[in-house]
């Protein structure tokens, strides 16, 4: 037999053996990816903010050539829109990225989500060794919402031209009479960062309901618009702001607004741990079912987590994503209070009743 002919046979046999050895996950991934490319787009409902929008759209589009139809909104706006659409029999979305409060109190009760694990394909996503705590963390028994970025939150910021951030050693320092009428908060009766801050106060053994009542006696300005609340602090009209929204805060600091974060590490009570808008879910009855699978696998991959953790300035649950994207004080500490889990949700009714009592409807 001629040597050249033998070489051809060996190459053919080698190619056939390689194809036969392709793992099952790879075959499934290629099939789903091919179908996703035919669908051509994925519809993502996510948080507001330029950086978060860009992180959730541009890298994915470059990686897979699938367009992202993105709608950015607050948690309340997301829940309201989805509720109206579902009641009208409209199913327009594939992916939800946002807060656990929105998921646990709105999306899951309205049966808008699917269990996530059946859609996970990539080994790097499914491998428990890649995740802090030894695996994916879900906030609900049905495993429909996965936590991506549990991080110590910002709870207190000040106008640096009027207040030295170093003077605060405890949240109880805010009860000093000199701060009366100088504090602004987003209405904590609404889902979001302000409510998470007051949940932290409510659950903390050294603060609790009595602290919230005392804080209310300081007559803080209560606004419904988080951007307006932060603007008040930046302008010095109310130089102390409790419970800012991170995405708006980051944008303001980058624009040179004279505000500074009071780092939780200098406060006696620290701060709570929350993923903020760093949670993800699959919508049920998705309009692009294959593109949804590709997207959620990408988002939970090292590549997806690097982009999103950097945009949020948070700490990814993935061990192979550098924590350098976040300030050192954001790294979760043992024993800190969680304000995103079921325990936090279970006190919500009692907390909101207290907030209505002290701040009014």
pLDDT at 41 over 60: yes
Per-residue pLDDT reduced to its tens digit, 213-248: 999 999 999 999 999 999 999 999 999 999 998 778
pLDDT at 2 over 70: no
Across residues 250-259, what is the average pLDDT?
91
The rounded Cα 8 to chain-centroid distance in angstroms is 54
- 12-151+276-330 folds as D-Maltodextrin-Binding Protein; domain 2 (3.40.190)
Q: What pLDDT, on a 0 to 100 scale, did the predictor assign at position 7?
A: 45
Q: What pLDDT, on a 0 to 100 scale, did the predictor assign at position 18?
A: 47
Across residues 82-110, what is the average pLDDT?
95
Q: What pLDDT, on a 0 to 100 scale, did the predictor assign at position 11?
A: 46
**Domain residue ranges in the chain:** 12-151+276-330, 154-271+343-359
Q: What pLDDT, on a 0 to 100 scale, did the predictor assign at position 282?
A: 98
pLDDT at 32 over 70: yes
In this prediction, residue 332 has a pLDDT band, given cuts at 50, 70 and 90, of confident
Q: What pLDDT, on a 0 to 100 scale, did the predictor assign at position 261?
A: 95
Q: What pLDDT, on a 0 to 100 scale, did the predictor assign at position 342?
A: 87
Q: Do domains 12-151+276-330 and 154-271+343-359 have the same CATH topology?
A: yes
Q: What pLDDT, on a 0 to 100 scale, did the predictor assign at position 251?
A: 85
Q: What pLDDT, on a 0 to 100 scale, did the predictor assign at position 4?
A: 53
Q: What pLDDT, on a 0 to 100 scale, did the predictor assign at position 5?
A: 52
Q: What pLDDT, on a 0 to 100 scale, did the predictor assign at position 176?
A: 98
Lowest mean pLDDT among 88-102, 150-164, 317-331: 317-331
Across residues 12-22, what is the average pLDDT?
53
Per-residue pLDDT reduced to its tens digit, 103-139: 999 999 999 999 999 999 999 999 999 999 899 999 9
Across residues 321-337, what is the average pLDDT?
85
Average predicted confidence (pLDDT) for the chain: 92
In this prediction, residue 313 has a pLDDT band, given cuts at 50, 70 and 90, of confident
Percentage of residues in the chain with pLDDT exceeding 90?
78
Per-residue pLDDT reduced to its tens digit, 169-182: 999 999 999 999 99
Distance CA 305, CA 322 (A): 10
Per-residue pLDDT reduced to its tens digit, 285-308: 999 999 999 999 999 999 999 999
- For the domain covering 154-271+343-359, report its CATH number: 3.40.190.10
In this prediction, residue 16 has a pLDDT band, given cuts at 50, 70 and 90, of very low
pLDDT at 19 over 70: no
In three-state form (DSSP H/G/I as H, E/B as E, the rest C), the secondary structure along the chain is CCHHHHHHHHHHHHHHHHHHHCCHHHHHHHHHHHHHHHHCEEEEEECCCHHHHHHHHHHHHHHHCCEEEEEECCHHHHHHHHHHHHHCCCCCCCEEEECHHHHHHHHCCCCCEECCHHHCCCHHHHCHHHECCCCCEECCCCCCEEECCCEECCCEEEECCCCCHHHCCCHHHHHCHHHCCCEEEECCCCCCHHHHHHHHHHHCCCCHHHHHHHHHCCCCEEECCHHHHHHHHHCCCCCEEECCCHHHHHHHHHCCCCEEECCHHHCCCCCCEECCCCEEEEECCCCCHHHHHHHHHHHCCHHHHHHHHHHHCCCCCECCCCHHHCCHHHCCCCCCCECCCHHHHHCHHHHHHHHHHHHCC
């Amino acid at each position: 037999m001629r040597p050249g002919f033998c070489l051809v046979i060996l190459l053919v046999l080698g190619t056939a053996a390689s194809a036969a050895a392709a793992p099952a996950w790879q075959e499934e991934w290629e099939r789903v990816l091919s179908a996703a490319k035919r669908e051509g787009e994925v519809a993502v409902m996510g948080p507001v903010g330029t950086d978060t929008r860009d992180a959730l759209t541009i890298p994915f589009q470059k990686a897979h050539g699938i367009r992202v139809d993105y709608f950015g909104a607050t948690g309340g706006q997301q829940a309201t829109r989805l509720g109206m659409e579902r009641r009208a029999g409209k199913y327009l979305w594939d992916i939800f990225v946002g807060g656990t409060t929105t998921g646990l109190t709105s999306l899951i009760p309205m049966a808008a989500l699917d269990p996530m694990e059946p859609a996970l394909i990539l080994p790097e996503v499914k491998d428990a060794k890649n995740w802090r705590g030894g695996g994916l963390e879900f906030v609900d028994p049905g495993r429909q919402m996965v936590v991506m970025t549990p991080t110590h939150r910002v709870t207190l910021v000040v106008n640096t031209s009027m207040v030295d951030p170093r003077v605060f050693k405890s949240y109880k320092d805010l009860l000093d009479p000199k701060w009366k009428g100088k504090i602004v908060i987003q209405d904590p009766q609404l889902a979001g960062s302000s409510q998470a801050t007051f949940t932290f106060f409510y659950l903390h053994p050294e603060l609790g309901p009595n602290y919230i009542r005392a804080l209310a006696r300081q007559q803080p300005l209560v606004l419904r618009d988080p951007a307006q609340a932060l603007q008040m602090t930046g302008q010095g009209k109310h130089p102390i702001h409790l419970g800012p929204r991170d995405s708006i805060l980051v944008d303001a600091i980058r624009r040179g607004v004279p505000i500074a974060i009071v780092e939780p590490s200098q406060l006696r009570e620290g701060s709570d741990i929350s993923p903020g808008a760093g949670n993800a879910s699959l919508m049920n009855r998705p309009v692009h079912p294959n593109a949804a699978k590709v997207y959620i696998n990408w988002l939970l991959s090292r590549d997806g987590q690097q982009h999103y953790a950097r945009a949020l300035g948070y700490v990814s649950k993935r061990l192979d994503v550098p924590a350098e994207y976040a300030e050192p004080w954001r790294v979760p500490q043992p024993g800190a209070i969680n304000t995103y889990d079921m325990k936090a949700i279970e006190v919500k009714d009692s907390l909101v009743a207290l907030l209505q009592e002290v701040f009014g409807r």
